[in-house]
Amino acid sequence: MELDEFKKSWGAVRREGSEQGGHTREALDGILERNASSLGELSEKSAFWNRIGGWNAALLVLLTAGYLVWQYHRGLGARALAGKLPLVAVLVGFALFSGWTYRRQEAIFSENTGASSREALSGILAAFKNYYRFTNSVFLVVSPVAFYAVFEIPGAGLSVATTSLASAALTGFSFLLRYWYYRAVFFPRIKAMESNLRELEAPPGFDSPLGDSG
């Protein structure tokens, strides 16, 4: 996102300094420039993962449906197929939810553009924190069931205990990968935006220590 476009969309440069807590135009330009860089990077990363997530979700649905059709043509009975439908529903639901999370993440970093800089920045940060907590909670509950379905639908022949243990292990591993990625890519930029917000909220000329946020 270009800096001029960023300023125009938020309307910050069209406002008097008193509307941003008395900050000078130069101070606002500096804050906006730093924030435009962080927001642009987050928007770009989110758009990339939205494309990948959409393909993955569609592929998972197609593979699941294709597997059932293949089993039906192989002569698998209707009763056996019906027994797999709950697990199929879990996988389809998981795929749809995954696709939604990537779309939602991309939308977060393009919302609130009609508000003032301070309001928009605060809204984006709050929306991202709620999104991150919500999606983590859902993934921790749904992922084990989805991994269990991956083993059970094709009939891997594993015991319930083994399948459950493998599903829990894969859930933990995928959750750690997700956390490490966000910590390396998203969290530093989110913290930079939080610093920008504190500068907007602080009285002009007041240098407050920037604390870490969780």
- Give me 8's structure tokens: 């125009």
Helix pair angle (117-152, 160-181), 10° resolution: 160
Assigned domain for 212 exists: no
For residues 153 and 85, give the distance between their C-alpha atoms in angstroms, rounded to a whole number.
Answer: 9
- Give 165-193 pLDDT, tens digit per residue: 999 999 999 999 999 999 999 999 899 88
CA-to-CA distance for 69 and 67, rounded, in angstroms?
Answer: 5
Domains contained in the chain, number: 1
User: 147 lies in a domain?
Assistant: yes
Q: Is residue 210 part of a domain?
A: no
Please indicate, yes or no, if residue 209 is contained in any of the structural domains.
no
Inter-CA distances, 91 with 57, 137, 148, 153, 181, Å: 10, 17, 10, 10, 24
Residue 9 resides in a domain = yes
Q: Has residue 87 been placed in a domain?
A: yes
CA separation (Å) from 86 to 97, 155, 190?
16, 14, 39
- Full residue range of the structural domain in which residue 109 is found: 3-201
pTM of the model: 0.73
On whether residue 213 sits in a domain, the answer given is no
Q: Along the 214 residues of the chain, how does pLDDT read in single tens digits?
A: 444 555 555 444 334 444 444 555 666 667 777 777 788 888 888 888 888 888 877 877 787 777 777 766 766 666 666 667 788 888 888 888 988 999 999 899 877 655 556 777 888 899 999 999 999 999 999 999 988 888 877 766 778 899 899 999 999 999 999 999 999 999 998 998 888 778 776 655 544 443 444 4
